[in-house]
Structure 1
């Protein structure tokens, strides 16, 4: 049994529970907060949605122990909330509820829309609310209710708050509960690699003013190319050529004072996204280190991302080789956030980096032979769906291989 300490609806609360107890059951059974409804228990229907540290969270797939120290707000805690009160009135006025089972989670998600989005279209609202299912109303009344509240608040001069005023993004309860790894050795190795690369980056000038942003997912990677370190370092300074080695990436123009605009095309199954954004670039010729920090948004899926890549170019183990250490940190929100689970993302990123290295090697060889940079082949789109399928298939094969080896 674990003792979990939370701030629930503004009041300190604690209780013992099994490590496997999810937050919805913890609140309902231990604190009698039955306004949190449980539907699918798979994080699909959205009926159990509540706020953890101000972020809408599926409480049926969130362990209570993982939120130790967090602030939890259920639908009962929104009784005196201004936005929630306006939404309740609008839901009744627009016939946005019938049986009412989905309504608590629907109100929590709708409140987040009103809080964050300045002037969303009906389509925008339908997309962002698609994670909350209703089998009674057909969503028309719900959409109208949300639109009416937003329109009324904007008419009163109440603007949306970017990112909902959140200072920290991440999984439910992030920054409060200590993470316990099931694979201590692997985790220790990853942390050590990340720390070493981070130390190498400490002398790099910051490309963007520090605003307290922290990535949701971070991992370290290294690769080696069979070219001298001076050649590789010079190549990394030509941003347009580096971008052409990354599948789906392209620039809108030449960098100006370390600032560049561009886009990257991503395909995940039936979803095709085109992130348009900006990036700030910093390089240190003395230490041969650099950072690329940027953000972008796909209007079609209403997904947004922000990330930082820190790299260090070093002499390789063999003469004429170069080793590149990379630390990648990013945050993904919106429809595509469902694909941002760190383990799967790192496997996909490993394969993406492998493609990048192949393109880098081919371009350097091509240029060494006197070829023009623009004549090198470029991959037009990054198909994350096919990569994920390959990753998952590889994981399944690895599981059965280990299973039969033990017999």
Structure 2
């Protein structure tokens, strides 16, 4: 996993991704900005066009890591843009869209034409827009819409900006490369690996403050051990991860940051989520938070989540109560299992397994008594047990047994 930090639509965002991840997948899957459409995925159709440092860019063939620290603007980021607003109105008036699939990329490219060309002819516009394909409109309405906006702006005295304020040479996003070392080629500025301590504790899993989870719920459990013992145990991230079926760490936590994985099996779907997380603890209140994200490359499923926990004294000195608040968003093939009611039931069973393993750890049982991370979490069995339990409860209500 590689940490990528960008400014997307004016907000600083970071996520851990595979180095081969394209920019289009980055904004769609980690930022939920699905206005950027993927068509050919070969850089031909132009549906995925977005702005990188103000330059129209084929995001389906642009690696996200190559745009480290760049400013990215998707179609969502042009909601209040003056030129884009005029183009949307003109597209509607000139019937320049039909199915709408190509429209986001078409608007981004059209905006660049309006911004750069002072008095383009129909031929100039057709050449400039030749990288954006449309299978519905025949282009006539699109050309007229762009001409309409250009003429309206020029008549109001708004002149074109030569080169659209472009000052950097090279591929979009490449202006953030580090200066070349003597005798070496320029290299792209990439984030440090987790194993290396950085001067600034950059948060790999820090999410957009406006992000809201699709599913939230609260669970509580009681552990038959004193509160100090349980709180100290929660500070050992590796031991806590070992109590969760299928979970394991890729290395020791560094400055509250850790990488790991979790193996999940749901029927025929086997997923291995590679993830990153930031962990904070407050000794005074005995509370902690875990903010993280992960992705499975095989099922193309991704998740982002926030876990908050509070460790409290139980009813007796030898008991500890742990309250857990969980919020997450799941996308991809496994999203079908994210219905809140089903998730809460599964989470209840999963937490029960975690508590059982936690009790075994605190009791000093050998590693042979603990579950293996290689075995993974059989979510399918949990789902089946939930459905079976619900069916049995239904029969009891119907027949009083």
TM normalised by structure 1 equals 0.51
Which residue does the alignment assign to 2:209? 211
Shift of 1:301: 0.7
Aligned to 2:334: 336
CA distance in 1, matches of 2:321, 2:224: 9
For residue 40 of structure 2, give the secondary structure of its aligned residue in structure 1: helix
**SS of residue paired to 1:329:** strand
SS in 2 for 1:117: helix
Contact 2:39 2:45 in 1 (8 A): no
Match of 2:398 in 1: 403
- Shift in Å, 1:147: 1.6
2:152 matched to 1:159?
A: no
Match of residue 382 from structure 1: 377
1:6-405 aligned at under 5 Å gives the runs 116-117=24-25, 146-147=39-40, 150-153=43-46, 157-159=57-59, 165=76, 208=206, 210-366=208-364, 377-379=370-372, 380-405=375-400
Deviation at 1:163, TM superposition (A): 9.7
Distance in 2 between residues matched to 1:115 and 1:342, nearest whole Å: 30
**1:281-319 alpha-carbon deviations (Å, 9 max, x no partner):** 000001000000100000001110000110000000122
Deviations 1:72-117 (A, max 9, x none): xxxxxxxxxxxxxxxxxxxxxxxxxxxxxxxxxxxxxxxxxx9943
Q: Whole-Å Cα distance in 2 between the matches of residues 361 and 116 of structure 1?
A: 45
CA displacement, residues 184-224 of structure 1 (integer Å, 9 cap, x when unaligned): xxxxxxxxxxxxxxxxxxxxxx9836531111000000000
Aligned to 1:47: none
Instruction: Give the whole-Å Cα distance in 2 for the aligned partners of 1:212 and 1:337.
Output: 21
- Across the aligned residues of Structure 1 and Structure 2, the Cα RMSD in angstroms comes to 3.1
What secondary structure is seen at the aligned counterpart in 2 of 1:308?
strand
Q: 2: distance between equivalents of 1:292 and 1:240?
A: 14
**Alignment partner, residue 194 of structure 1:** none
Question: Alpha-carbon deviation of 1:157?
Answer: 2.0
Please give the alpha-carbon distance, in whole angstroms, between the structure 2 residues aligned to 1:312 and 1:119: 33
**Bigger proportion of residues as helix:** 1
Q: Which has the larger radius of gyration?
A: 2
- Counterpart-to-counterpart distance in 1, 2:237 and 2:39: 43
User: Which residues of structure 1 form unaligned runs of 5+?
Assistant: 1-113, 121-144, 167-205
Alpha-carbon distance between aligned partners in 1 of 2:211 and 2:316, rounded to the nearest angstrom: 38
**Cα deviation per residue 1:164-185 (whole Å; 9 max; x = unaligned)?**
859xxxxxxxxxxxxxxxxxxx
Structure 2 portions without partners, runs of 5+: 1-21, 29-37, 50-55, 61-71, 78-202
Q: TM-score, normalized by length of structure 2?
A: 0.52
Is the Cα contact below 8 Å between 1:116 and 1:163 reproduced in 2? no
Q: Which residue of 2 aligns with 1:89?
A: none
The Cα shift of 1:259 comes to: 0.2
How far 1:377 sits from its partner (Å)? 1.8
Cα shift at 1:348: 0.5
Contact 2:246 2:262 (C-alpha < 8 Å) held by counterparts: yes
Q: How far apart, CA to CA, are the structure 2 residues paired with 1:211 and 1:119? A: 16
SS of aligned partner of 2:358: helix
Residue pair 2:43, 2:58 contacting (<8 A) in 1 also? no
